[in-house]
Structure 1
Amino acid sequence: NPTAAQAPREFYERAIELAGNNDIIIAHDAAYSELYFDGRKPLSFLDIDGAREVGIELHSLSKTYNMTGWRIGYAVGNKDVVAGLTKIKSNLDSGPFQAVQEAAITALDSDESVLEGLRETYQARRDALYDGLSGAGFDLNRPDATFYLWMKVPEGQSSADYAGVLLEKAGVLATPGSGFGAPIPEYRVSIVADVYLPGLKVKPIGLAASLNHNSFRAGEEAQVKIRVGRDSVIAIFNIMADDQVVMLFPNNYAKGNLVKGGIDFVFPGEGSGIALTLSTLAGHERDAEAVFVSAIDPEAGAKLDALFKPMKPMSLSEFFSKYSKIADYAEDAVLAYEVVAAE
């Protein structure tokens, strides 16, 4: 907390040795010990030999049982340290509200399956956020535990600045990494929102997609390179800086969007007479945009033309509302890029 990483046994052993040699008390914050992923249960500080002689472990029901704000937890470990903590705590307040204590008893007496269900929920959210952001080109770590995910910000921006961009442009609330110590070029996103996870109802398609560049000068042309593992219906959309979305392909000039498996497909193709020329919004020096590529099972019966019209702008919410009708039969990729105004 808040790194979303797990400390190895050797880390605790060195900390215990240091504390023992220098008369230091260790207070191990294990608030997120039950929110771990991929079956990788973290070590308890108290699992390590010598830990009970030098410190205590703290745990919070706020995280484990979604009781955030109720302020109830416990400390275990060295009896003298716990006794000292009790003296300090007794002089601050009269204890948690009784209803909160009753709820905590119920939580601690509950079956382990309750925690398994919570871990499954948070792991699904982690996977959705990690896959989406990494697919969009962000540099990030896949968290082992907790409900936080750390990512590097684009070059030339501070974490505070980019957190503002995310909020303004995408409605995503992120925490600047600089809030956790010396300024660092990272920001943190909490994976606490419900997500729609398409349940792919067809066999895997094997979509791979890329752009010819991830940074363009205004006036330069973009190309999208796509390969699928089996025959698929392809749709390409542009998510623009003004939060409008248009379908680039298929269009009135290039309608054949059934792509053969194992063969590279490029849009716009050479000699097609179509160019994807990029520009910034009026008055903007730099814009962030994305290409959204979808590969749809041709046997699913999804009617693209009934949902989307070529080059007809729609809002982001309208796009995703429509796309959710075919998402279970498709694989998709988000290709992020920037456009810089011409000098």
Structure 2
Amino acid sequence: MFVDQIKVYAKAGRGGDGSAHFHRGKFRPKGGPDGGDGGKGGDVILMVDNSTDSLRNFFFNAKLAAEDGARGSGAQMTGRSGKNVIYRVPAGLLISRIEETEDPETGEIIQTKIPHADLTAVGQEYVLCKGGKGGKGNVHFKSPTHQAPREFTPGEEGELGFFHFELRSIADAGLVGFPNAGKSTLLTKLSGAKPKIANYPFTTLQPHVGVMEFSDSRRGTVADIPGLIEGAHANVGLGHDFLRHIMRCRVLLFVVDAAGSEARDPVTDIETLRTEVKLYREELAKRSWCILANKTDLPAAAENIERLKERFKRIKIFPISANEGEGIEKLRAFLSEKIGVEMD
């Protein structure tokens, strides 16, 4: 099961109470105050780990809680701090705090998502909720005129709240197209990724990211998102769930069936895809993009490619056949220049 967004509740540990204790010894039956401080509450921490690529673990456990700190004790001993809890999350996690307000006119509760953090680097740690401070023991309240204080302070509550986790795939380039355009097959030819491939629409139901290693010791990543349909910008066909995964891509690769093998017009398809992307996010329409005219091994492809060149005169067009491997090397050379970075 692939989960790329979820609502969670997180609560850090409460600080331990301070101690109101007095020293009692064989030769000091009425010793002074020696109550220790309470321990700090544990933190709720998120750590980016490349061994996970989904939020499915939070689907079964949407309540994140850390341990409370222990109460202080005599001899000015500080209570044990609560243990921090670390939850592993995939790279590309966008976190928003959910705030609830009441509409003064209708009385309805309105939930607002406030951006909180964006976790992109493997190994990055983020404290989602901080544990509360421990309370002070009575030793802090003694004075020349107040030698037997019984005051102490309780521990502070840990931070808590509801949060929205949204996963946005991290890739240099994104494959965008209608269902059955050949994106998954293309991904296998460009990288080592192995998405499910079949000759029917909506085979890809979750994004896949493949790593391309170029011949000059450079590499790049490309994401295959599920096929879009018209109206995706308005969330038709779960469009928002799919489009969010190209938000981080520097280059958009629009894959189209150049042969029109499913009674589709490739020129109209590109126009529609560009419109959907622009309506979803204006900034996406400004990204670098090119056209991958796929299925050149089928009849009518050559004629349609000429039509694409006439309609999109300033846009780079790559005639390819993902199934036969034709044109792949030219595409790889282009991507090496466009998105390739030196390997560590």
TM-score normalised by structure 2 residue count? 0.26
Structure (1 or 2) with the greater helix fraction: 1
* TM-score (norm. length: structure 1): 0.26
